[in-house]
Structure 1
């Protein structure tokens, strides 16, 4: 009887490459951002994030103490995306610093970008302001040339208006808060509030009226 030819021994299995520690953390945050984009803050779940990254669920706890810790990081990322959108819109406004028309245009661009983000990215917009109670809102990056947070950019625009002589310096202190409240309130009203079903034309008109009201009040 003819013997079977010898077979080669099975090749040793190569263990999967370990992801760098920082890569897993950043991957979980990125996955959480996409969950939030689709479903808001309630959709940010550790198990879903680990599934998206391709790691076992327990791996998340090496980077985040609990679900709220991941959510806090995702909230910060959502806020940065909002700030980036605002900064990009402001950068499109021509004119040197201190020019009155340019300064007014930059303030308008901040409001326009804020409302557009709320409308186009409702999940991320809601998440940016859903930091769990036991976590602080992330401050601006230390050493950054400028505070790119929404509030930081609004303050910068108002400072420029004061430098340009459009805004009376005596009215400058704290005026960012009622302005932010008005724009944020409109975003909520038109996003998930009683104005959410307003036709696009009506919504745009309401936005224009609100921003014009703010600008007129500063002059």
Structure 2
């Protein structure tokens, strides 16, 4: 940079760099988050950034963790919207439904952040705070289904990967694949269908008494 670094109080620069990375990746996805672009956005030199982040990947990992926090927040908001004031078994299924629908909603609403969220080899549970991340919310919902008798214990091992793979695959088709130009109302319905198919596949039984309202 040819201009002087923007002044930051002690300890504020790392947060400012992550905030800059969030702005850039929100608009342009993971590819937009370069060290040069982030430092320019924050108004500081690369030398200043290196005092807090060892390299570009370090900054990118920390920023990706923030997007996973946003993803988890969307999941929790979706669960709350669906409502969980139900008997325990129905609540457990409803939580899994909210996890899946929230994941797809985030991919639709925040495609840039969705692109960044899992773009780095990193612990998928890692978030910038102690709140549960997306993967932990999925694990908790499946464990609750076992505890309430909805999901057989012998079907629990590995169920998280079947769920995540199915929903992530659909979300990726929407965010970057052949469904990206579909109307939102169409994609929302397809997403609900995918999530219901995932739930039915996990429990491998009738969910007639447990299904939420059908669109």
TM range (shorter): 0.7 to 0.9
How many residue pairs get aligned? The number is 198
TM-score by length of structure 2 reads: 0.83
Which whole-Å CA distance do the structure 2 matches of 1:195 and 1:18 have between them? 45
Alignment of 1:10-159 (within 5 A): 19-92=8-81, 93-95=83-85, 99-131=88-120, 133=121, 136-137=122-123, 139-140=125-126, 144=130, 148-159=132-143
Report the counterpart of residue 213 of structure 2 in structure 1: none
Which whole-Å CA distance do the structure 1 matches of 2:114 and 2:150 have between them? 30
TM-score by length of structure 1 reads: 0.82
SS at match of 2:85: coil
Superposed CA RMSD in Å reads 2.3
Contact kept in structure 2, 1:84 and 1:148, CA below 8 Å: no
Contact kept in structure 2, 1:86 and 1:110, CA below 8 Å: yes
Report the counterpart of residue 11 of structure 1 in structure 2: none
- 1:90 deviates by 2.3
- 1:19 deviates by 2.6
Gaps of 5+ in 1: 1-15
Report the counterpart of residue 186 of structure 2 in structure 1: 202
- 1:88 deviates by 2.6
SS at match of 1:209: helix
- Max Rg structure: 1
Which whole-Å CA distance do the structure 1 matches of 2:11 and 2:73 have between them? 23
- 1:84 deviates by 1.7
